[in-house]
Chain A
Amino acid sequence: MNKDLVSTIADLNEQEALKIVKDRLSAGEDPLKIMEDARKGLEIVGERFASSEYFIPDLVYSGEIMKLITELVKPQLTREEETRKSGKIVFGTVRGDIHDIGKNIVTFMLDVNGFEVIDLGVDVPEQKFVDKIKESGASIVGLSGFLTLAFDSMKQTIRAIEDAGLRDSVKVMIGGGQISEEIRKYTGADAYGKDAMAGVTLAKKWTGVN
């Protein structure tokens, strides 16, 4: 039975999903409609993750399926469609911390959910965030940190953004192994994401993406 793309992605059936995409492209279907269905499938994955039916590896797996689908559809998109993004996000692991696996997962999930992510890497000084926000015009900043020492760096980065007069034009999310509401208050961030999907949900909310 030929299942629909939304449920196939939601069920993380990679081979079936890719076959459906190829068939629909061959049939001359609108590539944007295919991408829309794929995103709906990804949304269901997010809901299943939120309800603990799926776990982080499942979430990342869904992102990899989405990436493959995007690669298949991309040649059929116009330049304008291809480069259309939901929003621009500057992301990095703050000064003093060099952990990157969590950051890489969040940035990957933001990317497959249609955001343009500018990844500054690890051990990123405050000024580098400020410069990149100015240069890119990003409306969201993601600060990642795994160690407790990262809390002060997050606070100082947000202060540097304030000092540069940019605080009102960006929303700041923080995330990492030890992050809690208490730490959010301490750093002055707008919100914290307890996992990769929470980061995506926040970015969608802040940019008005449904």
Chain B
Amino acid sequence: MPIIRDISLNLNMRDVLRRQGLGEVAKVRPEIKILIQELLASLECSCMLKPVSAYEYYTVRSMNDSQILLEGGKAIHGPLLPATFPDAKELVILLCTIGPGLEKQVTDYTNRAEPLRAMLLDGIGSAAVDKMVVEVLKRLASESSSRSYEISSPVNPGMPGFPLTEQWNLLKLVNAGEIGVRLTSSGVMVPRKSVSMVAGIGPEMKRWTQAEICARCKLSKTCHYKVTEQG
């Protein structure tokens, strides 16, 4: 099971502000910016961020309207997958986490009645996961390219047509325990700053932008977090 640990995140102010719902045009108070800079600096000298990713490729054997059947008698269920990856030769299942350190610090700030620090650090954690996914997908794209394949944009459990219950399946398929990710009884990943996804691999795979994903979302008119996302 391939595992990537050397993932450089280099978070900047813009990444963090987007996760606070603050767009390019927002007037951000100097006090808030200073606090974000302090928190970003604290990441450098602590163990708060330990990005690690596990992934695995599976050859596609067949598919029907509701699932994709993979090598070794495995399958991923949900109509979104065959509809999104009809030409995939393989699927790659990917799991990314920044580890539990940052969440512990957020809890610590909350317990010390410092909600602003807690909230901003939590947003930094979300920005870190966002950036990590981009970096890991770039590497997988490069691996696919070396085999004359393309990688599609990913889909995540919880999207319409890809039930959240598939989390159990996905985490088994990438041996999540090896990178310290587990599920609660209701299917929530712990550490919370983790993300699982599936992408198609093949000669010509579909890609879509974040703006297109946002446009399809029911919350697109009210969501704070898409304001500065690149299309």
Contacts and interface: CB of A to CB of B under 8 A. Distances in A.
Interface of A: 12, 14, 55-58, 60-61, 63-64, 67, 95-101, 104-105, 108, 123, 147-149, 177-178, 180, 194
Contacts of A147: 158, 164, 188
A149 B164 contact: yes
B210 to A, nearest CB: 17
A112 B69 CA distance: 54
Nearest to B116: A60
Nearest to B217: A178
Contact of B21 (A12, A55, A97, A149): A55
Given A98-B192, A147-B188, A149-B186, A57 B115 contact: no
Interface residue tally of chain B, by bracket?
20 to 34
Given A56-B21, A61-B29, A148 B158 contact: yes
A185 B26 CA distance: 33
Contact of A101 (B122, B164, B222): B122
Interface string B89-114: 00000000000000000100010011
Nearest to A52: B26
Contacts, number: 76
B118 interface: yes
Task: Enumerate the 3 nearest inter-chain pairs by beta-carbon distance, A residue then B residue, closest first.
Answer: A96-B186, A101-B122, A108-B115
20 contacts: A12-B31, A55-B21, A56-B224, A57-B20, A57-B32, A57-B120, A58-B29, A60-B116, A63-B115, A96-B184, A96-B187, A98-B188, A100-B110, A101-B118, A104-B118, A104-B119, A105-B115, A149-B164, A178-B219, A180-B218
B106 A98 contact: no
A164 B122 CA distance: 37
A101 B114 CA distance: 12
Nearest to A195: B224
Contact of B164 (A56, A63, A148): A148
B192 A61 contact: no
A63 B32 CA distance: 14
Contacts of B115: 60, 63-64, 104-105, 108
A60 B119 contact: yes
Interface in B167-183: none
B42 to A, nearest CB: 17
Pick the most buried of A14, A57, A147: most chain B CB atoms within 10 A of its CB: A57
A22 B21 CA distance: 35
B20 A55 contact: yes
Contacts of B188: 96-99, 147, 149
Contact of B184 (A98, A105, A194): A98
Interface string B10-37: 0000000000111000101101100000
B184 A101 contact: no
B20 A56 contact: yes
A67 B118 contact: no
Given A14-B31, A56-B119, A104-B118, 7 more contacts: A96-B187, A101-B119, A105-B115, A105-B119, A108-B115, A147-B164, A149-B164
Nearest to A14: B31
B141 interface: no
Interface string B117-132: 0111010000000000
